[in-house]
Structure 1
Amino acid sequence: MAKGCEHAEGCHTGGIPTLASATVGARLWLLIEHEGPWPSHLETSELPENVAKLVARALERGIRPQLIRRPGKRTRPRQQGIRVLLGYAVGERPWLASGVVAGPDDLDLDSLVAGVVPESCILEDEPVFLVCTHAKRNVCCARIGLPLARSLADFLPDRVWETSHVGGDRYAANLVCLPHGIFYGSMSQAAAIAAADAYRSGEIILDRYRGRAGIPEPLQAVEHFARTHTGECSVGAVAVESSRSDGDVTEAIVRCGDVRFQVVIEPSAFQAPCGTACAEKITTYRLVSLDRLTPVRYATAALS
């Protein structure tokens, strides 16, 4: 049975911290258009054979598979083959590509792993936006995600997809911006439009920002606190250059434009205002210290 909230106070409205909660294991993405029913877990045998085989091939290679469909009524004509989008959300130059393949063996997923666009696909020049609407995984994702996906699709026709579980049901409605793998949670319709508009301009909005997928959660937290301190919003302007952990404490050197900071964070428990299956006790992070590094201090910190 799908989980869900008994009441919405505090949940899904920005009342719980979203920072440093983006899915860690999602640096490579395979989006598979599938209009039929979505099982609660993609690894099951409930999908059509060709879709199930694509999912299995992706998982074998460490690629994150997602089922997608267009928001709204299911009136699109059936097409020959399987429509796919591939996301390479690694490093400073991520990319997105799309194609239609005749069968699961006709998509070269090893090329994606190597950071190369498969021959059956072409590069996309616009980002795509995923809204989780996976009711069989969590009813709140559908209850909140469906209207958000439709309103966002009105704002950005052909760039918005409903998607299966992206991780973090407690943060529904979840929005993922590809190709960078930028996650937002607890989104309202207005917040989603603002976040999508900012991403199309190469920027991040810190309100309800969960982090960038594929990065360990402590380093997502380090980046978040550095952005909060500096006000830096450019997607590519902030990077963790080095880090080390001592127990639960993480210390990192972060570059923000031409300036570097030494940031120290540690886990912090947050008691959610609604004790439901969606959000109970949440582990988040708190800032211990943040210091700007001079060239001399940077050299010392880098060597230590």
Structure 2
Amino acid sequence: MSPEPTSVGEAPFRCAAASLERADPIAGSAANVRTWLLLEHAGPWGSDALLDARLPEGLGRALKQRARSARAKALLIRRHRARADASAPVRVFAAYADPVSPRLESGVLADPREALEVDLAALRAGGSSGLDPVEGPDRDLFCVCTNGRHDICCAERGRPIAEALAEAFPEQTWEVSHIGGDRFAGNMVVLPHGLYYGHLDPASALGVAEAQRRGELVLDHLRGRASYVMPVQAAESFLRAELGLLGLPDVEATRRVSDGNLSTVTLRALGASYDVTVRSTRSETERGRMTCKASRDQPVPVHELIEIIRL
């Protein structure tokens, strides 16, 4: 079933605008994934990028299977305004978003099918994927979702962000295929840290990039740290807001105990430990379409702070 058409003269539905109007909570909305594979492909991508893009026969499906077996996320990437060139070398990245010691590796492939040789399982286990390690203050990748065929909001809101970031940080900026959370467009993930940001515009995205270079977070737009499950993401954001902590290493989750929809997360911060209790539910009053293509309203996911206790 497809969404009902709009009336003549009526603006088309946009899930990101509706999310902003509802003031959907943003904390605790990032996908939970630690291992990443990024393969350069100038596009077009299609709705399901790995399956719809013009990759060598069978490569997209094989990459999906490889990522699934390694509990990884495989994405296509491209430079802003890049043009397809079958003869050009292909960049590939492998990242492990450890919350304490994230790692990034990279290489250049003569044939995109060589991406199947990247050892994601070894990377996840603490070794190398077979690519070269990337170090230094400029290693962070600003990955902006612009996959408009998946959701139009990603293109409309993502491309201006990619343009602004590409001008300021040309080597670190990539457009990427679908990363999840269409209604939070413009969306960006910072790798290898696995930091999801949402409801960005060009100015706020530049602010996030500048903060990242200082080793800091921007809480107003932080969806969560992908290395944690969603309630832990929310607990980290709540504690950081309570204590005013913005530094990347300032807070670390050490334990989670769940009881139904309640999660008590133990976090270290400022030399002390805190228990943060979060209730994760779906709103009984706020409903909406989570994507532009959705055919019906759904309850909005909510993480509610119950209490913060210093141990």
1:123 and 2:134 aligned: yes
Residue matched to 1:109 = 120
In the TM superposition, what are the counterparts of 1:74-113 in structure 2 within 5 Å? 74=83, 78-80=87-89, 82-102=90-110, 103-113=114-124
Q: CA deviation at 1:9?
A: 4.4
- CA shift digits 1:173-201 (9 cap, x unpaired): 10101111000111111111111111122
Q: CA deviation at 1:234?
A: 1.1
1:236 and 2:243 aligned: no
Aligned CA RMSD, in angstroms, stands at: 2.7
Contact 1:2 1:137 in 2 (8 A): no
104-113 vs 258-267, which moves further: 104-113
In the TM superposition, what are the counterparts of 1:10-25 in structure 2 within 5 Å? 10-12=18-20, 15-24=23-32
Q: CA deviation at 1:138?
A: 0.5
Superposition TM-score, scaled by structure 1 size: 0.86
SS at match of 1:157: coil
Q: CA deviation at 1:153?
A: 1.0
CA distance in 2 between partners of 1:19 and 1:163 (Å)? 22
Residue matched to 1:292 = 310
Please list every run of 5 or more consecutive structure 1 residues that lacks an aligned counterpart in the other structure: 294-304
Residue matched to 1:296 = none
- CA shift digits 1:267-296 (9 cap, x unpaired): 244455865745853111111111222xxx
Identity %: 34
Gap change, CA 1:221 and 1:66, over 3 Å in 2: same
- CA shift digits 1:138-158 (9 cap, x unpaired): 011001101111111111111
Residue matched to 2:38 = 31
- CA shift digits 1:196-215 (9 cap, x unpaired): 11112211110121000031
CA distance in 1 between partners of 2:273 and 2:309 (Å)? 9
Residue matched to 1:226 = 239
Query: In structure 1, what residue type is equivalent to 2:97?
Result: A
Residue matched to 2:154 = 141
- CA shift digits 1:244-287 (9 cap, x unpaired): 11211111222112122121111244455865745853111111
CA distance in 1 between partners of 2:65 and 2:123 (Å)? 15
CA distance in 2 between partners of 1:275 and 1:62 (Å)? 28
Query: In structure 2, what residue type is equivalent to 1:70?
Result: R
- CA shift digits 1:207-254 (9 cap, x unpaired): 121000031111111111111110111112211222211211111222
SS at match of 2:237: helix
Q: CA deviation at 1:46?
A: 5.2
Query: In structure 2, what residue type is equivalent to 1:93?
Result: S
Contact 1:42 1:55 in 2 (8 A): no
Superposition TM-score, scaled by structure 2 size: 0.84
Residue matched to 1:186 = 199
Gap change, CA 1:67 and 1:226, over 3 Å in 2: same
Gap change, CA 1:229 and 1:110, over 3 Å in 2: same
Contact 1:227 1:233 in 2 (8 A): yes
Please list every run of 5 or more consecutive structure 2 residues that lacks an aligned counterpart in the other structure: 4-10
CA distance in 2 between partners of 1:165 and 1:64 (Å)? 10
In the TM superposition, what are the counterparts of 1:32-47 in structure 2 within 5 Å? 32-42=39-49, 44=51, 47=54
Q: 2:208 aligns with which of 195, 208, 214?
A: 195
1:158 and 2:166 aligned: no
Query: In structure 1, what residue type is equivalent to 2:304?
Result: R
How many pairs does the alignment contain? Answer: 291
Residue matched to 1:254 = 267
Contact 1:149 1:160 in 2 (8 A): yes
Residue matched to 1:69 = 78
